[in-house]
Structure 1
Amino acid sequence: MENQIRIAALADIHVTQNDKGKWDASFAEISENADIIVIAGDLTDTGDEHEAEILAESLRGCHIPVVAVLGNHDYEKGKQKEIRAILQKAGIHLLDGEAVVIKGVGFAGVKGFGGGFGKFMLSMFGEPAMKAFVQETVDEVLKLDRALAALDKNEDPIPKIALMHYSPLAETIAGEPTEIFPFLGSSRLAEPLSRRQVDAVFHGHAHCGVLTGTLDKVSVYNVAYPVLKKQGYTKGYLILEVPIKTVEA
């Protein structure tokens, strides 16, 4: 028989040092309406560990599991390791090339990176700086593939959700200036998502993008907080119901 797991998704909450208590009621409400929360990066505004502590305090009020990845803002001050440690200590599943199974749903998470889309995708050619830029994306793709592969090792197939900050396709960043598309995501991230047949993808980063897109048969959701608000999600989060198989007693 099947059951439904409700996943509440959001991104780009950009918690600042002045946000103490700001998110408490929101996360408490989400805990009542969903089974799992996912946050697709830019957890902090300036990558400060004190911002992470404020977020961790708000998330301690959650009564459901939280899965998250870091975004570019969380790397701003080079404190990403400290931020990761603070949030993990608060019980958050912070993924960076890892996978976790919660309530019968598998989650694979990476930050991702840029590089452009389709025929306009940057190639590993030219100056060392350009090669390093593209290599960063390749490294993120390899981490994503390893995480998804870990989920494929389950004896029984389970729903697979990919969580990242950068977009794997251009469709969900439409509305952003085309000049910055290479810095909003990369088609390279799409390949393991299609090959590993994930059920859904959540990302953020593109504040002026659109909510939904499709990668082959995979649903992709841009859950950046400004996008959700623009699309009428007044509470600032989206809920996706994922069917899972349950064993009868």
Structure 2
Amino acid sequence: MHDTWSMGRVRAMLSWGFVRGPAATYAFLGSGSTLASFASVAAIALSAALGAAVGALVGVVTRNSVGDVAGVGALIGGGLLVAWLVLSLVVGAVLWVRGVSPAETATGEKPTGRHAAPSDGWRRRGEPLVPVSLVLFFALMTLAFGSLWVHARQVSQPWDDRLTATTNGTVVTVHEPAWWEKGSGSVDIRYSVAGADYVIETGRDPGEHVLAVGEVVPIQYVATGPADARCVWTVESARSDVTFWFWLSAGCAFLGLLSLIGFLGGRWRSSGRLGG
């Protein structure tokens, strides 16, 4: 009798540690409330602070560097909670596949009344495994990253069909971005060719660092038309970004294709067309 009771306690603890507890965490964080977002950040900070306190105590007892041991303790404390959140995501994914809501798993009771309606947003058994929102998400990500890849590819194109030369220009004006714009703004760069001054406008952050007034910048210009020019640093930065944006957009496109296949397959199966 005692052994059976002990095994039941162990099973309950393991269930809360690896299934019901993470499911409850997922249900709380997935509620969409401001409190949930604040609580997750506060919990990580508190866990790191407790780890740092324990590490500092260990450092005092062992006569090691308190700062170093406290830093390790903070990393361990914060890392443990992050690992718990990752486990919650894994449990949530498994529950999604099974068609069981996290709230139902955490409480051990099936939802009734309005909580049992499909409007709660969680997948039920027999419904498509992949939601259409996931397909749309990857489609939007593909468009966003794809546009960045196209832009970087255009900027990085070599001017092999033109006779070009390089010179040094000087940043003369900084244009701060408007409140609705992203980035660090733009700059005007003045350069001289054959005694004539020219000015081009380019991004303030060409990839190396943020440009400031008076800074000297290499400029590539067309020999037959010096007004047609560009910043060398911007071109070099775009060339290094082309591969990154390409693979990122290609990865999103691949995941979007898999999601679309899963969504269509789920709709086909749920409509009763598969297997008669």
Larger RCO (CA within 8 A; separation ≥ 6): 1
More helix by share: 2
Q: Same fold (TM over 0.5)?
A: no
Length-normalised TM-score, structure 1: 0.24
TM-score for both structures, normalised by structure 2 = 0.22
State which structure, 1 or 2, has the greater radius of gyration over its C-alpha atoms.
2
